């Protein structure tokens, strides 16, 4: 537990520092690429059957161990990897499209100043083919390194993915919510009420994805080590427990921002 705690602490502080001062679009793009990097790392990280069984507290010999999806020497199979990457691409596309939309600007107060610079791969703010264009942000796989753009190895991939979900939820709370301003004279219009629902809709998308990660783990379709199981105390995959880590993530980011402001004021 001491190792697991140190992993969480260092990951939160390091990522918070990296995100301090970034604009919403910059953080969104970083979240996207970081999530893909972690999922790629899981595809490349070997975990034995014995280690995986200990991580979820089973002794083996269950029929699910012969499931086609689990016939992999790594944390996840090619099939699961492809499924997760597809989900992340689609959900990032949803957030990017909503936050930088005319409706968000009409009924709220988003920061869309750098949309053309951050998303220049898409032709700036004129985005049409969301899915295919987001796919281009994922670096092509290289036979030399086996990972898209990875230069370092994650110490605990599943824990880092777990923390990444907190960062997605924090981004949604802080940014999609700015698309609806109650003080806006247009706030009572039907269009504004539709925009107001975007935040909950976005949260449901990531709740569903994290539920899939958690349930796959306890079904034996995702393998990990004992020191890298953030869902150990949540075998039922209760979504309410997923959301508890947002508070720690937000607190760490605020601390880093204050420190950065103090250093700049010197």
Q: What is the DSSP string of the chain?
A: -HHHHHHHHHHHHHHHHHHTT--HHHHHHHHHHHHHHHHHHHHH-B--HHHHHHHHT--S--GGGG-GGG--SBSS-HHHHHHHHHHHHHHHHHHHHHHTSHHHHHHS----TTHHHHTGGGTTT----HHHHHHTTSPPP-TTTSSSS--S--SSHHHHHHHHHHHHHHHHHHHGGGG--TTSTTTTSHHHHHHHTHHHHHHHHHHHHHHHHHHHHHHTSS---GGG-TTTT-TT--HHHHGGGHHHHHHHHHHHHHHHHHHHH-
d(CA 76, CA 86): 15
Contact 41, 154 (CB under 8 A): yes
Q: Which residue has the tokens 């957030």?
A: 95
Tell me the pLDDT tens digit for each residue of 161-198.
999 999 999 999 999 999 999 888 887 888 899 999 99
Low-confidence residues of the chain, pLDDT below 70? Answer: 1-21, 58-71, 121-154, 245-266
The CA R_g of the chain, rounded to the nearest whole Å, is 20
pLDDT at 13: 39
Angle between helices 157-175 and 24-44 (to 10 degrees): 160
Distance of CA 254 to the CA centre of its chain: 19
pLDDT at 256: 58
The pair of structure tokens assigned to 34 is 């970081």
46 - beta bridge partners?
Answer: 74
pLDDT at 132: 56
pLDDT at 103: 94
């Amino acid at each position: 537990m001491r190792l697991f705690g140190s992993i969480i602490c260092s990951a939160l502080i390091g990522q918070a520092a990296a995100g301090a001062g970034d604009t919403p679009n910059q953080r969104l793009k970083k979240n996207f690429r970081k999530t893909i990097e972690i999922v790629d790392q899981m595809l490349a990280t070997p975990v034995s059957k014995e280690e995986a069984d200990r991580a979820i507290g089973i002794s083996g010999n269950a029929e699910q161990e012969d499931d086609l999806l689990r016939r992999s020497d790594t944390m996840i199979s090619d099939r699961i990897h492809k499924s997760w990457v597809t989900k992340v691409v689609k959900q990032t596309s949803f957030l990017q499209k909503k936050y930088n939309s005319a409706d968000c600007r009409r009924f709220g107060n988003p920061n869309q100043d750098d949309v053309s610079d951050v998303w220049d791969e898409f032709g700036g703010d004129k985005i049409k083919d969301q899915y295919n264009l987001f796919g281009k942000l994922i670096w092509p796989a290289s036979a030399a390194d086996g990972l898209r753009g990875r230069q370092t190895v994650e110490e605990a991939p599943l824990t880092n993915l777990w923390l990444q979900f907190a960062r997605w939820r924090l981004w949604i709370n802080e940014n999609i919510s700015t698309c609806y301003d109650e003080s806006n004279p247009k706030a009572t219009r039907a269009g504004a009420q539709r925009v107001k629902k975007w935040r909950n809709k976005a949260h449901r998308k990531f709740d569903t994805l994290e539920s899939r990660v958690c349930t796959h783990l306890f079904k034996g379709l995702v393998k990990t080590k004992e020191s890298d199981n953030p869902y150990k105390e949540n075998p039922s995959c209760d979504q309410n427990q997923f959301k508890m880590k947002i508070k720690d993530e937000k607190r760490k980011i605020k601390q880093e921002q204050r420190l950065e402001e103090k250093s700049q004021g010197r």
